[in-house]
Amino acid sequence: MKVPVVRNILESNDRIAAQNRALFSAHRILVINLMSSPGAGKTTLLERTIERLKDKYRIGVIEGDIASTYDAERIAQKGVQAVQINTDGACHLDGNMISETLAQFDLTALDLLVVENVGNLVCPAEFNVGEDMKIMILSVPEGDDKPLKYPLMFQESRVLLVNKIDLLPYVDFNLDRMRQITTGLNPHQIVFEVSCRTGEGLDAWIDWLDNEVKTRRTGP
């Protein structure tokens, strides 16, 4: 039967993810799982974030794509270590995939690890990889109806970045409507409205992430 099989897969993944999380916690590494649909701006946001924080924190990136090393090459050009995972058709990263990459990092030399998940609004939200939090990007050209169509992504994400707000005058996207829907799905979700192209709103995002990394490094 399909339901027991799916349950077994998720339970097995959760066990491996818990092992990953314990390892990250032991090294006081903040780990975020960055999710979005294709083209929403994950890699560009990551580039802007690295530019702001790389002189303050030691950053590593795990890039998940169905094929190619294009995004990992972009990130490596920013001066941080990037490890590529090609899923060969799988629509998400899982705990085991992350576990198998960790030997390529010196975990004692990391403060922040970003997992850029495969572009998809369904599967990534179901699979923990050992992260401290899931962070989602929604770009305004996608439409304000996405929280209704893909609620789990919004329910699971601690932070929502609404990207490409510089395009608001040109697309049919109602920020108030989107906020009303997402608040109903996840009332504790933190929302940042940003444009990676113009830089609008990025200071608030960077300040928040800076504080999260600092808390992890100096916490009990």
pLDDT number for residue 219: 77
- pTM, two decimals, is 0.94
Handedness of CA 22, 27, 30, 34 (dihedral sign): negative
pLDDT one digit per residue (tens) for the chain, 220 residues: 344 545 666 789 999 999 999 999 999 999 999 999 999 999 999 999 999 999 999 999 999 999 999 999 999 999 999 999 999 888 999 999 999 999 999 999 999 999 999 999 999 999 999 999 999 999 999 999 999 999 999 999 999 999 999 999 999 999 999 999 999 999 999 999 999 999 999 999 999 999 999 999 987 6
Handedness of CA 55, 59, 64, 68 (dihedral sign): positive
pLDDT number for residue 14: 95
What gap in Å lies between CA 141 and CA 165, rounded to an integer?
A: 9
Q: Find out whether 117 and 141 touch, Cβ atoms under 8 Å.
A: no
pLDDT number for residue 4: 52
Cβ neighbours of residue 96 closer than 8 Å, sequence gap 6 or more: 13, 16
What gap in Å lies between CA 161 and CA 194, rounded to an integer?
A: 7
pLDDT number for residue 195: 98
What are the structural domains, with CATH classification, of the chain? Answer: 2-218 (3.40.50.300)
